Structure 1
Amino acid sequence: MDKEKLKEEELPKQSQDQPGKESEMNPEPEIIRDSYKGSDKLKDKVALITGGDSGIGRAVAVHFAREGANVAIIYLEEDEDAELTCDMVEEEGTECLILRGDIRNKEFCKSCVDDVINRFGTLNILVNNAGEQHVRQGIQEINMDDVERTFQTNIISMFYLTQNASKHMKKGDSIINTTSVVAYQGREYLIDYGATKGAIVSFTRSLSDDLAPDGIRVNAVAPGPIWTPLIPATFDEEHVAEFGKSTSIGRPGQPSEVAPAYVFLASDDASYISAQVIHVNGGEAVGG
């Protein structure tokens, strides 16, 4: 089932445990289109991507590699997915470093940045992309342990990584954060997740002001319903089968349709863009 058929058919009912495995999804997401031609937009750059083992993170890693960047990916525990991402990056002719661990740990985040500098000698692009979510029907059903974990993964880790990474970044370098359409529209079953994604928008804008004098640009991408392992690992089978149908385009998006926005923001094509959010959401009208 390809993305064109998703316009006409339901996704097969399926579920997984978090954080989810891309290799177990049906259909597997499209990571990069054959028609996407690299043009050295990121030649000789070095990128660090959290959640780079699958989904949007994998697609960003492969697109960056096709544009000439060396890539380091951070992932939690899905070794098979991470190894495949590394293979896909290296097939594009660049190098890949894989870093396994929990970004909720600030010492691990520091060590990841150190490992990138030791391996490549520089760091030009930081993509804060990793995230988690837990479905709870309303405020009374929320588990506060889940709230704390979600904030630690989705936004506090960005402080850890950015504080360490930005020390090594210079004029022309770029930080890109993954927020969500949920930050703008809200979901009653994702209150804590939505709160973290709203925080990411504000973090992006304030960080841009802070780093602008150094020539470092800070932007964000707000995906809508994108077909990634987080979806079958979060929602029940019925929700998965209807996923993305409420958009104007009428289907879920593919990681291959989101990643080019990250390429644009990381490249010199976006040299006059900072503190902005690109919405890749299938036609949903949002403010901000």
Structure 2
Amino acid sequence: MSDQLTFQNPVDRFPDITPPEQDQPEPGLDAELIPNTDRGEDSYRGTGRLEGRRALITGSDSGIGAAVAIAFAREGADVALSYLPEEEEDAQYVARLIEDAGRTALCLPGDLSDPEFCRDVVRQAADGLGGLDALVNNAGRQIAVKDIADLTDEQWEHTFATNIHAMFRVVKAALEFLPAGSTIVNSTSVQAYSPSAHLIDYASTKAAINNFTKGMATQLAPRGVRVNGVAPGPIWTPLQVSDGQPKEALPHFGKNTPLGRAGQPTELAPAYVFLTSTESSYVLGETLNVNGGQPTP
């Protein structure tokens, strides 16, 4: 497979997948996904853009977070991986790839819906890496519910606790360690602009993340800490099969984009690398849309 720097047609750079109907218990594993995702294991080529950086990446065991972790390591960063204990198998696979790149991988399992863990994971990352100068808030929870009458208070609160409350707490804790020149990149979504009817709670949190990102970018700019976001479109990850999408919708996932296919996690990684690198030193409060051409504001 050619790498991300090779001239290619985006329509067929990756296969137009037709996933079978399948189910995994939440949170889902890349190791059991059909077909497997491409996280850049065999294709991402680093160029030293993050040499010596020390990054905490939440939700980094699988999908987009895993692709970002692999790319960061190959760009020269040491990486602390935050993930749920149930995702240990995927996390260990990513950790091995980071170590194969000659960088440090620090595994930090725990649940970000727990306020105390949000604070602990930041301290553990800074201690284990010898400091912290990059934060990627990527962990997220997405459960499809077709009718608001069936959307329980418990699910609404759990989704907000994982997707936006945890982000607030992790950022607040990280500011104790982030020096001038540090970066924060938050994962939002095309759902923030064009919410699907079956993802009301998830989409609402992603809109909140957009606003949080812009507000924090303004607040932290004088400190020399840049805050930006990335808004993925339909990306093939374990999130989709662990009740993130209706099962009958899986074979059609991503086919309504202008490119006609779902994205792969590795296609997100360069956006996070750019926003974390010094190349984007004059970029603050921006949301980069990586969504296969879906119109957004």
Q: State the TM-score, normalized to the length of structure 1.
A: 0.96
- 1:32 correspondence with 2:40: yes
Structure 1 stretches (4+) deviating beyond 2 angstroms? 3-7, 33-37, 138-141
Alignment of 1:181-200 (within 5 A): 181-200=190-209
How many residue pairs match? The answer is 284
Judge conservation of contact 2:144–2:246 (CA < 8 Å) in 1.
no
Deviation at 1:11, TM superposition (A): 1.8
Task: Decide which of 67, 84, 91 is 1:76's aligned counterpart.
Answer: 84
Taking the aligned partners of 2:200 and 2:33, their CA distance within structure 1 comes to 26
Q: Could you report, residue by residue, the CA deviation over 1:196-244 in whole angstroms, capped at 9, with x for unpaired residues? A: 0000000000001111010000000000000110011122432111100
Amino acid of the residue matched to residue 91 of structure 2? A
Deviation at 1:35, TM superposition (A): 4.6
CA RMSD of the aligned region, Å?
Answer: 1.3
- 1:47 correspondence with 2:55: yes
Q: State the TM-score, normalized to the length of structure 2.
A: 0.93
Amino acid of the residue matched to residue 202 of structure 1? N
Aligned to 1:254: 264
| Unmatched segments (≥5 aa) in structure 1 | none
Taking the aligned partners of 2:23 and 2:150, their CA distance within structure 1 comes to 21
Relative to structure 1, the CA distance from residue 21 to residue 42 in structure 2 (aligned partners, 3 Å threshold; closer, same or farther) is: same
Aligned to 1:123: 132
Judge conservation of contact 2:54–2:133 (CA < 8 Å) in 1.
yes
Moved more, 19-28 or 108-117: 108-117
Seq. identity, %: 45
SS at match of 1:40: coil
Aligned to 1:221: 230
Judge conservation of contact 1:15–1:236 (CA < 8 Å) in 2.
no
Deviation at 1:5, TM superposition (A): 6.7
SS at match of 2:294: coil
Judge conservation of contact 1:14–1:236 (CA < 8 Å) in 2.
no
Taking the aligned partners of 1:156 and 1:36, their CA distance within structure 2 comes to 32
Taking the aligned partners of 1:6 and 1:37, their CA distance within structure 2 comes to 20
Amino acid of the residue matched to residue 279 of structure 2? D
Amino acid of the residue matched to residue 71 of structure 1? V
- 1:265 correspondence with 2:275: yes
